[in-house]
Structure 1
Amino acid sequence: MGRVSRAQAEENRRRVVETASRLFREQGTHASLTDIMKAAGLTHGGFYKQFASKESLVNEATAHAFGELARHHENGLEQHGGQRAAAQQALIDTYLSPEHRDNPADGCAVAALVTDMAREVEDQEARRIYTEGVGDFAEWLATEDEDGITRLCTMLGALVLARATNGSPLSERILTTARAALSASG
């Protein structure tokens, strides 16, 4: 089998990072390299041609997930004509929805990776990326009256609890109650 072109190698790397980002949000950072490479449509052996270690993939996939989150915030602001309060409310409504609860692979990296990052050592790059991403998200949620941390904690806590209680009436109540509280406080 011949060598892969530089363009193809870059495309393969991008595909692995995107796939890992989704699988880590869905399954946690313990998702196996074999599963990641299979989901990306590549062989396990090709992993080490692209990445030095799984840790380097976790770093890139975490950065990718937070890049998606930042783009989502920018798009929301654009869709609401630069009206930050309207964009924030739309985000809250989407964030605290059954669709977001039920689809962690395509959802928020803050909620999906919270327990994995809590277990990481403090000086790991992925944890630094995560911490900066949490700060940026809180800043994006800030209003004239608050710094955004309360809103983020409410959203995150509600989503995590709704996911943990999914399948019960309590799950929907958690989402509805948190959405109503944040709408009233906004």
Structure 2
Amino acid sequence: MPRITKEDKARNRQNIVEAAGRLFRSRGIDAVGIAELMKEAGLTHGGFYNHFASKSDLVVEVCRTSFATSLESLAGMIEEGQGQGGPPLKRVVAGYLSTAHRDAANGVCPSASLVTDAGRQNEEVQGAYAEGVEGYLTGFTAEFLREAEEKGHQLDPAEARQKAIRLLSEMVGALVIARAVRHIEPGLSDDILHASRSHALD
């Protein structure tokens, strides 16, 4: 029987993380068992423990990886500056509170798709989620300060952080509620997204 190479092992681990991310974000952490996620990754159940000591260890990596992807996208928007859809934060809000993001099958952004699950997990998982939240707050705060400076206004960093916290909280809350009612009250779901999208940056 051929020995598995380091490259194969790294690829298998990545497949597990990606499969778990899709399942966790779309269905919830506790609703997905190891056997199911390994099947989704195209691997055998027994191979899981060659890569992770426990499911919680995998959840921590999924949390960090998912946030890293989202934060990379945020950083890219901010670096682009003024775009066709307006300044960076306006475009971030428009994309986050869009019907496409609401209806995405894999949950896309972990800030909303894992928010309830994270609170039910152990401290390591909650820590990974908190790191991701801080990443968003850091990016939002810096952009609020940059926008104020560009307009010739002075904004206290503490106030900018408070604005960042309010913005992230409203975005996540609006998306979670919009997802919760979209099948039974699609009009209400759309209204929630529209109202929050229109006033998140007021």
> Does the pair score TM above 0.5?
yes
SS state of the match for residue 105, structure 1? coil
The residue aligned with 1:51 is 52
1:9 Cα deviation from its structure 2 partner: 0.6
Native 8 Å contact 2:107 2:113 kept in 1: no
The normalised TM-score by structure 2 is: 0.83
Amino acid paired to 2:132: G
Amino acid paired to 1:156: V
Match of 1:164 among 161, 172, 180: 180
Residues 146-165 of structure 1 correspond to what in structure 2 (within 5 A)?
146-147=160-161, 148-165=164-181
SS state of the match for residue 68, structure 1? helix
Matched, 1:173 2:191: yes
Gaps of 5+ in 1: none
The residue aligned with 1:16 is 16
1:177 Cα deviation from its structure 2 partner: 0.2
The residue aligned with 2:80 is 79
Greater CA drift, 11-20 or 102-111: 102-111
The residue aligned with 1:133 is 132
Native 8 Å contact 2:75 2:139 kept in 1: no
Identity of aligned residues (%): 37
The residue aligned with 2:200 is 182
Paired residue total: 180
Amino acid paired to 1:128: G
Greater CA drift, 132-141 or 9-18: 132-141
Matched, 1:26 2:26: yes
Residues 110-121 of structure 1 correspond to what in structure 2 (within 5 A)?
110-121=111-122
Computed over aligned residues only, the root mean square deviation of the Cα atoms, in angstroms, reads 1.8
Q: Distance in 2 between matches of 1:26 and 1:42?
A: 20
SS state of the match for residue 200, structure 2? helix
Runs of 4+ off more than 6 Å: none
1:2 Cα deviation from its structure 2 partner: 2.8
The normalised TM-score by structure 1 is: 0.89
1:3 Cα deviation from its structure 2 partner: 2.3
Amino acid paired to 2:19: T
The residue aligned with 1:7 is 7
Gaps of 5+ in 2: 146-154
